[in-house]
Copies of this chain bind each other. A is one copy, B any other.
Amino acid sequence: MTQEMTIGRDMTIGQAAKSSAVSAKMIRHYESIGLLPKAQRTQSGYRLYDETDVHTLRFIQRARSLGFPLETIRTLLALWRNRRRSSAQVKELSLRHVEELERKITEMQAMVRTLRHLAHNCHGDERPDCPILDDLAG
């Protein structure tokens, strides 16, 4: 590559993707929705990333792995960068997310309970009689 691309720790999107465990596709997407600042470009148009960018990408990756939606991550990133943030705000966001997760968990557990119960009463043989279908049919 040209010199400008080997100066310092700049790397291409593919290298940033490997370093952050965020796909190149997603990195471009995050930039397009303003979650990431617009990347530097080489003269030929290739995006360039430095260690700071990769740090941000890892932050996003970790937040995603905890289930935070991108809009919440946008706020978390702003708080992260804001030295005058209050930890109360971060905690508040996190606990609201936990509540949402628990709501979904409870919902799915109810489904599992019902289905396990129905399946338990289903012979599961070659005959057509089936309490599961009976339930669905009302």
Contact = CB atoms under 8 A, between A and B. Distances in A.
A112 B138 contact: no
Contact of A94 (B79, B95, B118, B126): B118
Which of A65, A80, A91, A115 has most B Cβ within 10 Å? Answer: A91
A122 B86 CA distance: 11
Interface residues of A, number: 53
A87 to B, nearest CB: 4
Interface string A19-45: 000000000000000000000000000
B98 A138 contact: no
Nearest to A77: B136
A18 interface: no
Interface string A73-114: 000100110111111101110110110011011001101101
Interface of A: 55, 58-59, 62-63, 65-67, 76, 79-80, 82-88, 90-92, 94-95, 97-98, 101-102, 104-105, 108-109, 111-112, 114-116, 118-119, 122-130, 132-133, 135-138
